[in-house]
Each structure stands twice: as structure tokens, then as C-alpha cells.
Amino acid sequence: MALRKDKTDRKVATSEITDYGVPHVAIIMDGNGRWAKKRGWPRLAGHRKGAEQIKKIVREAPDLGIRYMTIYAFSTENWKRSLIEVLGLMKMFRFMIRREADALAAEGVHLRFIGDRSRLDPALRETMDQIEDRTRGNTRLTLAVAINYGGRDELRRAAAQLAIDHASGKIGADELDDAALAARLDTAGMPDPDLVIRTSGETRISNFLSWQAAYAEYEFTETLWPDFTVEELTEILSRFGNRDRRYGGVKT
């Protein structure tokens, strides 16, 4: 029986790994505020609990066959929230990235960020750049965290870049195809998500991965993000196997 070391250096049989055949899972982690409100706590307490849940999910994801995870942490629309909440979230992102850097690096996670960084605090940006550089060679799991991310904003930036590259002669009119646009998205180099999960009972996509998730499967659960467990993720993944992905074709 084949053995490999897991992240705690425990020798595990590879038969303990269940690959559900869903390489890229994207998650709209919603419901932190309601989770806190139910307890009479400030919204930021919900965000903190939500961040702890991410750690648990990320740790187990590779053993479920997941190779890429994209998680929605802050949308281009989330700036509308109170200053206290926005600043609290930004502070938490920096704190979490710094605190988890060693563990993520040791667990073979390649951490990257999608979204427009230009509006983020320089200290947060520096922290993001550092962990991206540090974990670039890791292959066990690629974790893309969406901060100041909007699908429309990302498409607009990619289209603007294409226009610049065309005007400068870098790319010809006959080369303006899907691949050329995809290569200019923040997710360049990542496969499209197979499955998008949204927690908290809302059944909308809120500007998440508009281009990339065109043919993804969607799962909506009532569970608030801070209550979302590895067990529920496993249930969702096992249901996914029964879906018939036709991509516009006809099953023969």
C-alpha cells in the first residue's frame, strides 16, 4: 500500500484520500454577519469565525481531490459597508495572511490573490506579494483569495489590457480570442471552476467569476459560512459526481 506524509507528518495510506473528481471548487463564503447577529455579536466576530473555518477547509481540501480553491473574501461592492467593518476586514486579511504564512507554505499551498489591488492598503499589498512569492512553487493546492474582486471589474481590466496590447502591436486583431482574454484575467493559469458553492441561502452569484464560472455547477446551502464544515463539503462533492455536465452538447 502506498504511503505518503500528510501535513502533520503523519504517514497516511493513499487509500484514505477520496478524490471526488472536482479539481476546482470556488466558494462564496456568505453569512458571517447573520451568524454574529444571531448571537448578538458584532459582525467582525462573524468574520473572524469565518476565517477560522477557511483554515479547516483548506487543510482537508487536497485529501478530497481538490487542486484549486477560489474563495470570495471581499467584493468590489463590499466597500459600501461601514468604515468599521471595511477596516476590520482589511486588518484581518493582513493578520491572517501573516499568521498562516508558515503553515500554508509547509502544507504545500500556493496562495495567490485575485481582484484589483490598487485600492488596497500598501502594507496589505506587500503582505500579499510576499506570500505569493514565497509559495509560488507549491503544487499541492492553489488557493486563490478574491479581495476587492468583481467579475465585471476583472473583465473590464482584462479588456483594457487587450486594447493596450493590440494598440502597441503586441497582439493582432486575428488573435483576440477567448484564450487571449483569459490570459489577462486575474485567474490566468488556473482552470475554470467546476463547482461554485454559496452559503447562507442566497441564490445569486454577486459578481463572482463571471467569465470563469460560465459552465460551473452551482450548489446553494442554507448553512451560514461560519457553520460550514468539511463534512458538508464532502457531501456536496459526492453529489457532484451524479451531475451530467453536457456543455451545451447532447448526451449520446
* Residue 206, binding choice from Mg ion, ligand IPE, none, Cβ under 5 to 8 Å by partner class: ligand IPE
Query: Which stretch, 25-33, 124-132, 134-142, 172-180, contacts Mg ion (CB under 5 A)?
Result: 25-33
Interaction mask 140-179, ligand IPE, x per CB under 6 A: ----------------------------------------
Confirm whether residue 211 is marked as ligand binding. Answer: no
Q: Is 32 in the site for ligand IPE (CB under 6 A)?
A: yes
Confirm whether residue 34 is marked as ligand binding. Answer: yes
* Residue 34, binding choice from Mg ion, ligand IPE, none, Cβ under 5 to 8 Å by partner class: ligand IPE
Q: What is the largest CA-CA distance in the chain?
A: 58
Please indicate whether residue 78 is annotated as part of the active site: yes
Please indicate whether residue 30 is annotated as part of the active site: yes
Q: Is 219 in the site for Mg ion (CB under 5 A)?
A: no
Catalytic residue (one of 30, 63, 153, 186): 30
Pairwise CA distance, residues 56 & 211, whole Å: 28
Tell me how far CA of residue 7 lies from CA of 105, 127, 237, in angstroms: 10, 24, 22
Sequential DSSP letters for 172-196: -GGG-SHHHHHTTSTTTTSPPPSEE
Nearest to 193 by CA among 217, 229, 221: 217
Residue 55 in grid coordinates: 483554515
Going by DSSP bridges, is the β-strand pair 217-220/109-114 parallel, antiparallel, or unpaired?
unpaired
Q: Which residues bind ligand IPE (CB under 6 A)?
A: 28-34, 72-75, 78, 89, 200, 202, 204, 206
Q: Which residues are catalytic?
A: 30, 78
